[in-house]
Every structure is written in C-alpha cells, then in structure tokens.
Amino acid sequence: MMSTMTFKKLFLLWLALSQAVLAADSTTNVPTVAISRDATNMVIQFKGTLQSAEAVTGPWLDVVDASTPFSPVSAWGSRFYRARTPDGVFVTNEVVEFSVSGPLQEHFELAFAGLPDGIFPPVRLKPYFDGTLVLGGFTVPVSLRVRGNSSLQECPFPKLKFKVSKIDRAVTPFAEAREVKLGTHCAEGGRGTIGRLRDQIATFREALAYEAMGELGFISPRVRRAHVEYRDTTSTNLTPMAGWAISRDALILDDVEVVGERLGGRALDDEEVAALTNANFNAQLITDLRFLHALLGNWDYTLSLDGRGLWNTEVIELAGGALVPVAGDFDLASWVTGEVRVGAPPEYRPDLPELERRAHYELDQIRQQAGATRYAAARDRFTAKRSAVETLVSGAVIDEPGRSNCLHHVSAFYEAAAAVLR
C-alpha cells in the first residue's frame, strides 16, 4: 500500500509538472510542452530544449540529454518544466554543421550542372523537390531547388536554395529563416572557364564579402559559414551517378524575400526586376554600391539609376514604395577567386601592380560618372569604416591565403580611393 509520504511526493511532482510552462507557437498553436501520466510516471512531450527549475522564477537549466518523450526521475522532487525555443540558425557566426539529403543528383542533371552553354544551350530545369535537413536534434522537411545562372556552366555541384514550411520550422533553428540560400563548393578544385574558384575555400571567402557589406552599413542578408554533409537519395535507375555522400564547407544566407520582410517591405520577383524602367534609385546609394563592388573586385554585376538591365542585384520595395537595390552573388569577385580581372586599357597606370591598377581604374570611372560630390561622400562613408573592415578580415574564419588576398584588396582600395580625388 502506498505510504502517505510517497503519495505526497507523487502529488507534489504531478502538481509541479501540471504547472509547467506550456509554450506554444503563435502561428501553429502547437504546444512545445505537453504533460501526461503513464501509470505512476509523468511523461513530458516537448519540442525545443527541455529546461527545469525548482521554482517558476528559475534559475532554468537545460535537462541534459533529454529527448521526447521524457520521464523525470521521482527522486528529483517537485520541479517546473518548460521548453526553450532553440537559437535561430543565424544567431551566431560560428560554423554550423548540418546535413541535407534528397534526390540531389537527379536535379543536378536536370539543370545540366557543370555543362557549358555551348552553341545550343541546354534547357536547365530547376524545380523544387523534397528533401530533409538535420541540424542538431532537429530533423526538418525542406523544399530544395538548384539555383544559379552562369555558375551552372562551371559548377557540377551547383548552388542550392531551401524553404521550410511554417508548421515544419516552428520551434526549430529555422523559425525565423523560412527561405535560405546555400552556397556550395562548386567542384573539387581548379577554376571554371568563367573564372570561379571551384573549391570549398571559396565559400568562407564569399561569406566574408557579405559580412563586409553588412559592416559597411548596406542592406544585406544574414550570413553564416557552414559545414554540410550532402546525401544523395536519387534512384540508381535514374542515373549511375546516384547514391553518393560528401561533406564540404558552405555558406548559408537569407533569401532576399526574408530580407525584404524584415525591413517591412517586399522583394521584387525576377519578372518585376526585369521589367523595371523607372526605379528612381537613390543616386548616392548607387555610387556607394559601386564602391562596394570595387572593394571586392567584383565585375559580375550591373547597376543603373532607372533599374534597367540589373544583374546580380536584387530589389526591395520598402513600405513607403521606395525601391532599394541590394548587392549579392560575389563568387566571381577577386576577393573570392584571388584572380584580378582588370578591365582597364593597357595604357592606364601601367606603373601599378595589377590589383592596385584595377582599384584605381574602377574608382576613377566612378568619379567621372558620379561626379566629385557623390564620389567624396562615398569615399567618406568607406573611410569611416576602414578600421572595422580590417578588423573583420583579420579575425574572420577563412583560409590564410584568402585572408591575405582580402587584406590586399582592402589596402589597394583605400589607397586608390584617397588618390583618385586628388
């Protein structure tokens, strides 16, 4: 027969558990903690990280190695329990590790990834397909698709994008990251015919380019370095190349739709961007963005005041209706590739080393086209951030040759920016 003391302990335990915090996602109304009783045991079903405390005011501590369903040990006595929503995937800049699985090879081949256009360019299909992402203790269904334009001609392992549905991302690290771009390693070494560095070291270098853009105060996506295990689930009946698994460095970043929503606006889709004829972009911002591309040694872009012919430039419509250009896709920039594409006439400053000559030429062109006043304002904006950019590069997670290359870009750019206006 159960003693009074034992019954009292069980009652107190049940009472404490029944008062646990029942957190719920506001959009799905799915509780993250649910309490039930199995014979004489209490059972806690939860999503997120289970925490416990002796008092409702805390301190709250993680329950080590807890997995759902969880049965607390009666010897612990009466306690309160709650589930903590995991930190968002972009909350830190530490390298994040996760795995992605799905019929990747099938969709690489549908997009003819790694095949140059040639005389008769292939029709590159890039539909969404189902996959699974595993990060820590979370297994998340995702919709994946191949992305990229010119990169598809030289990257047999193409860039990707994935979406997570509202119900599937609740109480996961992707709760605030519903649509994410995944920058991959492209290939297993060497350089593509267009100029990409086809190596995993390029991914962390490009992540640093986005970080520099953010440091300089431009609208930019959240970005994080990653190490990804890819598992192909394509049927071998479709292609003999199926069934592989590899792990490589990568980067993840917000899709522009998420960036737009965060600013209280919306991102224009591809068709809307292509149809722009009178965007009326801020002229100083256009000059400043051209400075950014000059710093990065990026030539794979097009900017215009009216929005015509934009390339590798997204557009966000703010709440008041103003249109704002957003730079992106820096995988062909010499900041990433380490190879300078000058573009200057042979007679222009032949006395300068290659990188310095390019920086002088591009900034000289900006000064002539934007005028001395806008040039000076852009130069002042960048000069005020020089120390911060140098500190960012010096402390970044990146290969050492890549760091040296980026620091060289910084010094060459700032020396040119000061000299051109004289």
Measured at the CA of 185, the angle between CA 182 and CA 187, to 5 degrees, comes to 135
Query: pLDDT of the chain along its 422 residues, tens only?
Result: 444 444 344 434 444 444 433 333 333 334 467 777 776 777 888 777 777 888 877 787 878 777 788 887 765 567 787 776 678 999 999 999 999 999 999 999 999 999 999 899 999 999 999 999 999 889 999 999 999 999 999 999 999 999 999 999 988 899 899 999 999 999 999 999 999 999 999 999 999 999 999 999 999 999 999 999 999 999 998 899 999 999 999 999 999 999 999 999 999 999 999 999 999 999 999 999 999 999 999 999 999 999 999 999 999 999 999 999 999 999 999 999 999 998 899 999 999 999 999 999 999 999 999 999 999 999 999 999 999 999 999 999 999 999 999 999 999 999 999 999 77
Residue that has been written with the tokens 């010499």 in this structure: 334
Query: Residue 146: what pLDDT?
Result: 98
Reading the block at residue 379, the tokens are 């130069």
User: 223 near 328, Cβ under 8 Å?
Assistant: no
User: 335 near 297, Cβ under 8 Å?
Assistant: yes
- In the chain, where are the structural domains located? 10-84, 86-254, 265-422
Over the stretch 316-345, which tens digit does the pLDDT of each residue have? 999 999 999 999 999 999 999 999 998 899
pTM: 0.83
Let me know how long the chain is: 422
Query: Residue 5: what pLDDT?
Result: 43
Query: Residue 32: what pLDDT?
Result: 65
Reading the block at residue 254, the tokens are 């917000």
Reading the block at residue 339, the tokens are 């190879």
Packing angle of the helix pair 354-370, 372-383 (nearest 10 deg): 130
